[in-house]
Amino acid sequence: MTDPFTKVFAQMMEKGQKMAAGFNPASAGLGAGLDMAALAKLFPTLPKDVAEAWFGKTHNPEGLDAKTRTLVVLTGLVVQGSTGETLLRPTIAQALAAGATKREITEVILKCAAFGALPAMQKALEIAQGVFTETEESKA
């Protein structure tokens, strides 16, 4: 594995661990000590540019702000349908914490109807409403 890839991957892992700790403090340190040699064997032909796009620029502090990143993740999860449902609740909560409004979150979900079909959108809206209700109750 090349030194630039190792550096970029290490940065991605560090940022990923911080994000995971934000979702669930018990997950702090998740992925620490990952075997880079094993990763190189798993992905021996991973081009440097692809690695940079996935692990470097994607988690670039000068890039997207936390709110936008979370809304992008929400889009992907909604379009996945039932595959992404498990992560919808914490992602919606994280979007609220990152400054997204209920209206913005709802709009993102509605826009996904064209790509993820109506059942996926409807389920995501139901989950979002539950998170909105929980958030309001926790503030009261």
Last residue of a domain, one of 37, 59, 81: 59
Judged against a pLDDT cut of 80, whether residue 33 lies above it is answered with no
For 117, the domain range is 66-139
- Confidence at residue 103, expressed as pLDDT on a 0 to 100 scale: 96
pLDDT in tens, 34-56: 555 665 566 655 545 555 555 45
Q: What are phi and psi of 44, to 5 degrees?
A: -70, -20
Examine the domain organization and report whether 29 and 91 are in the same domain: no
Number of domains observed in the structure of the chain: 2
Asked if residue 88 lies in contact with residue 78, where contact means CB atoms within 8 angstroms, the answer is: yes
15 with 54, same domain?
yes
> Token pair 């890039």 is at which residue?
63
